[in-house]
Structure 1
Amino acid sequence: MAARSPISTEEAGLSLAMAVVASSPGPLLLMDGDLNIVAASASFARAFEVDTDSATGQQLSSLGAGEWAMPQLRSLLDATISGAAKIEAYEIDLRRAGRGTRRLVVHAEQLVYLDMENRRLVMAVSDVTDARADEKIRDDVLQQNLVLLQEVRHRVANSLQIIASVLLQNARKTQSEETRGHLHDAHHRVMSIAALERQLAGSGDGVVDLSAYFKNLCDSIAASMIGDSKRLSLRVAGQCGVVDARVSVSLGLIVTELVINALKHAFPEGRSGTIVVDCNFRHANWSLSVSDDGVGMPSDPALIRIGLGTSIVEALARQLEASVEIGPARPGTRVVIAHTPIALVESDAEGEAEDDDRMSAIGRPAG
């Protein structure tokens, strides 16, 4: 029996590579330095309807009816085989006559082993056409839902304005000063909520820029409650942030209640002054304040009444896991809503970086 000639390490390595490629469950090609196909997996042959035996020795660009002859792909593969690059998740469209276009993701890398003179490259191909189609369907459904939500908010705002008009008409008809005051308060609240809904209807991406949001809200309140803009002014200051629409609703209601309260009590008997809505956002840590330069709070705590507006603000703050602090502004009154779950140390830059990783997404600085 003739002795079998010894197999070199290079031959053994190539044989092993070919066997691995041939048995791969995913579409896989092994090519030489000239991009001639050395081996093709059975899954590649099934997916792209090529014969593995006839494909061996062919150029990649010659496969099928030439659909793999893509200049950009060829350039990337040449760079990869030379060691100058590595293809990671490169997406291409495979177009074949009589068939739908397939979206493919290509990975390619030069093989480095003992046979350095003969360069080889392995290319893996994934068909993501169906996955991309599913993503598009989900995106389309999401967009439809957003449009529907905006339409609902718009209709709600219109309905609230009608309700506000009815309340105002009833306030004008009533003979009771107390009832008239309650109806006016209800009218202002309904109008403010209608303004909130209109602004939220315009935030199609699900987030709200608080700076523009508060400014529009305060303009709406001022238009309905401040008769003389030279006597009373309402403005927004500070570094506001960007928050989810859900959070912006609570913050908007808080601002509405505090501003209305200041307009009702801070400037009696025609007194002039200013109300300032100030916000400061630093990731998860934020504060929101409404201050006035009016008459201030009674010096006797027994004279301080907890009204409906204060109760609403405290309930909304609890939902946001924030605290409420009411105090003098010298002159006037200042109410601060603060959300401080993270203790930041200014001098510790590394600590801040760690905190940033753990911050919740309730708000972030507007960019």
Structure 2
Amino acid sequence: MTGRPLIELEDAALSLTMAVLKASPSPLLLLDGALGVVAASRSFCDAFDLDPATTADQSIFALGAGEWDVVQLRALLEATAAGAAEVDAYEMELKRRGRPTRQLIIRARSLIYQDLTQQRLLVAVADITDARAGEREKDAAIERVGVLLREVRHRVANSLQIISSVLLQNAKRTKSDETRGHLKDAHHRVMSVAALERQLSEAETGGEEDVELGAYFTRLCDSIAGSMIGEGDPISLVVTGGGVVASRISINLGLIVTELVINALKHAFPPGRPGKVTIAYQARGPNWTLSVSDDGVGMPPDRSLVTPGLGTSIVQALAKQLEATVEVGSAAPGVRVSIDHTQIALLGETDDAAPSGVALERPAA
């Protein structure tokens, strides 16, 4: 078999390798075992304003005005040459006098090839200066939006507080019992929304994006109790369970709790009757259940006597937004309203509650 001598083949392979490296569109350096530059791609020289004719045969740390002589980079490349480490993604700042600082990602590998006497390291450089600047601008924009949102929520909460005070004053002045009842209902709803806005504002000021439901429901019930339960009334509101949800979900859950608790306080307990309203939240993975139950007079045997009202419509609409269903059933005694969100069916689960769509209101006793 005839052919060119081995030395000529090796020279041709080396020449091809050097040509490919120099023509690479990505900034590349080929270093020897002493971290001297064997070759540099044209893109590397162009990116860092270096003369290709003088780049080779000098240490990487002598390139330019010595700006590559960074202590940590030197340690990482020396460890790579010794086979003790590999530079996967070292981020560094390249500082040059009179020029903007560049943010770089350095990757280095020791090459394994036929000539074991000639150690070579391949160094790849990626300039991420513009990407980092874009990230900083995005973060600053998000922070500005967050500040504006917190300011809006603070102002909304204050405005709602004023509106609720006006509603309560008008309720006290009116002579019509029906009008007074409607104004008080509006007052309770506005107060609940104001309490939610205040809590979300406080959470976001502390850098939180989620809401702890146990604490939120407790504050919400304290607000409702303060405006609807008299000092001598033997009625209590109890919160059990809890969990952490996104603030947008907590808004709907808080409004649902408000409607159901107000409804229970209005209809479940005749004057002087003691009782308890329990608000419970349980989550199992993506599935969750919110329930409001009371031990009051319960629903009438004939459901046709119950006329759906505004509260029913509000709860049904809010549950639909959460992709949940509303179930109304007996709490023996009293009534239990359950809001169920089921994303994954669990084995052994049964549904004994009344069908959704049943009116939540009960005729006052």
**330, 337, 340: which one pairs with 2:339?**
337
Matched, 1:102 2:102: yes
CA distance in 1, matches of 2:14, 2:32: 11
Change (3 A) 1:170 1:62: same
CA distance in 1, matches of 2:311, 2:273: 22
Contact 2:212 2:242 in 1 (8 A): no
Q: Which residue is equivalent to 1:124?
A: 124
Q: CA deviation at 1:82?
A: 3.3
**294, 316, 319: which one pairs with 1:317?**
319
1:124-273 aligned within 5 A: 124-204=124-204, 205-228=208-231, 231-243=234-246, 245-273=247-275
Q: CA deviation at 1:84?
A: 3.3
Q: Which amino acid aligns with 2:260?
A: L
Q: Which amino acid aligns with 1:191?
A: M
Q: Which amino acid aligns with 1:95?
A: K
CA distance in 2, matches of 1:54, 1:159: 71
Helix, strand or coil at the partner of 1:269: coil
Q: CA deviation at 1:313?
A: 0.3
**Bigger shift: residues 278-287 or 172-181:** 278-287
CA distance in 2, matches of 1:153, 1:26: 49
Matched, 1:275 2:277: yes
CA distance in 2, matches of 1:278, 1:152: 31
Contact 2:210 2:244 in 1 (8 A): no
Helix, strand or coil at the partner of 2:118: coil
CA distance in 2, matches of 1:301, 1:337: 20
Percent identity, aligned pairs only, is 59
- Structure 1 residues 263-306: Cα deviation after superposition (integer angstroms, max 9, x where no partner): 11122212222222211223421111111222222222223332
Contact 1:258 1:290 in 2 (8 A): yes
Q: CA deviation at 1:344?
A: 4.0
CA distance in 1, matches of 2:280, 2:8: 78
Contact 1:324 1:338 in 2 (8 A): yes
- Structure 1 residues 109-147: Cα deviation after superposition (integer angstroms, max 9, x where no partner): 222222223221111111111211111111111111111
In structure 1, list runs of 5 or more residues that go unmatched: 347-367
**Bigger shift: residues 97-106 or 226-235:** 226-235
Q: CA deviation at 1:213?
A: 2.4
CA distance in 2, matches of 1:21, 1:230: 86
**Bigger shift: residues 229-238 or 98-107:** 229-238
Helix, strand or coil at the partner of 2:218: helix
Q: CA deviation at 1:314?
A: 0.6
Contact 2:233 2:272 in 1 (8 A): no
Change (3 A) 1:134 1:238: same
Change (3 A) 1:54 1:272: same
Q: Please report the TM-score for the alignment, with normalisation by the length of structure 2.
A: 0.88
In structure 2, list runs of 5 or more residues that go unmatched: 349-365
Q: Please report the TM-score for the alignment, with normalisation by the length of structure 1.
A: 0.87
User: RMSD across aligned C-alpha pairs, in angstroms?
Assistant: 2.1
Helix, strand or coil at the partner of 2:245: strand
**Bigger shift: residues 208-217 or 307-316:** 208-217
Change (3 A) 1:131 1:306: same
Q: Which residue is equivalent to 1:287?
A: 289
CA distance in 2, matches of 1:12, 1:179: 98
CA distance in 2, matches of 1:220, 1:119: 75
Q: Which amino acid aligns with 1:214?
A: F
Q: Which residue is equivalent to 1:357?
A: none
Q: Which residue is equivalent to 1:29?
A: 29
Change (3 A) 1:345 1:67: farther
Helix, strand or coil at the partner of 1:121: strand
Contact 1:291 1:333 in 2 (8 A): yes
CA distance in 1, matches of 2:215, 2:122: 54
Q: CA deviation at 1:10?
A: 5.1
Contact 2:80 2:110 in 1 (8 A): yes
- Structure 1 residues 186-217: Cα deviation after superposition (integer angstroms, max 9, x where no partner): 11001111111112223325433323322222
Q: CA deviation at 1:75?
A: 1.7
**Bigger shift: residues 124-133 or 336-345:** 336-345
CA distance in 1, matches of 2:141, 2:242: 35
Q: CA deviation at 1:327?
A: 0.8
Change (3 A) 1:11 1:115: farther
Helix, strand or coil at the partner of 2:175: coil
- Structure 1 residues 229-283: Cα deviation after superposition (integer angstroms, max 9, x where no partner): 872222321141222x222211111111111111111222122222222112234
Q: Give the number of aligned pairs.
A: 343
**Bigger shift: residues 186-195 or 118-127:** 118-127
Matched, 1:54 2:45: no
Helix, strand or coil at the partner of 1:306: coil
Q: CA deviation at 1:34?
A: 1.6
Contact 2:213 2:242 in 1 (8 A): no
Contact 2:213 2:244 in 1 (8 A): yes
